[in-house]
Amino acid sequence: MVFSDFTSRTVSLYDNWIKDADPRVEDWLLMSSPLPQTIILVLYVYFVTSLGPKLMENRKPFELKKVMITYNFFIVLFSVYIYYEFVMSGWGTGYSFRCDIVDYSWSPTALRMARTCWLYYISKFIELLDTIFFVLRKKNSQVTFLHVLHHTIMPCAWWFGVKFAAGGLGTFHAMLNTAVHVVMYSYYGLCALGPAFQKYLWWKKYLTSLQLVQFIIVIIHLGQFFFMEDCKYQFPVFLYIIMIYTCIFLLLFLHFWYCAYTKGQRLPKSAKNEICKYKDH
């Protein structure tokens, strides 16, 4: 009886809440309900934390060099395209970089922004392959709680973003993130090409710097909202979530920078491996 009452209240709450969803995205892949993505993410977590390592326990690591080269450079090209679409659908064609609200109209530009947000959301599922490749290559030390949490939270958060607020100032961090991913996955792609390309990877330290700069810029941009007297952004809760998430990762990356580049030479090998868990986020 108690469970039935709880279920009824939950369904009622969901029905009332979903009334404010954007009708334009209702029929898009994975957008009709949070259930399909929940199933995908549960299977992902189960595979990378339990099933995958067990299946690989008595097997040799897969040789995925060609697959990883293709994958990384595909992400680079996909990120370039998403970044271009963010620029052309608002950030380079009229947004003020201050109080930019969501345009829910059916205009070509508004629909283009909504579609770009959806593409960014879909990219988060493609990037789940990062962890799957770790498991298949038996790089289990890279499958950390932080890594899995990051790859699970992003699609969850962005389902709500696309469903309710596909546009406006809440998308700035996504545009910036795609630009960083162009650089980051270019680095990973060059790594995958093998030892002959190691001489071109001297800029790893600057990749971490770029990620830190990304977080700082996002915090500064979002921080404007909290000082605006009359910004009618429709779903400010998303801005709070983005700000909290960004601040957490800024602190984690600062910790990584300090350990890896300031005192890394004095750390034992085991400690170096531990702090390196942050590098793939």
Catalytic hit among 150, 151, 173, 281: 150
CA distance readout (Å), 45 to 22, 150, 225: 29, 11, 35
What pLDDT, in 10s, does the model give residues 189-203? 999 999 998 888 988
DSSP, collapsed to helix, strand or coil, labels residue 170 as: helix
Whether 173 is catalytic? no
Q: What is the pLDDT of residue 3?
A: 64
pTM > 0.85: yes or no: yes
Over the stretch 47-99, which tens digit does the pLDDT of each residue have?
Answer: 999 999 999 999 999 999 999 999 999 999 999 999 999 999 999 999 999 99
145 or 171: which carries more pLDDT confidence? Answer: 171
Q: Which of 232, 217, 237, 281 is nearest to 255 (CA)?
A: 281
**Distance in Å from the first CA to the final CA of the chain:** 44
Residue 194 CB: number of other CB atoms within 10 A?
A: 10
Tell me which residue has tokens 């209240």: 9
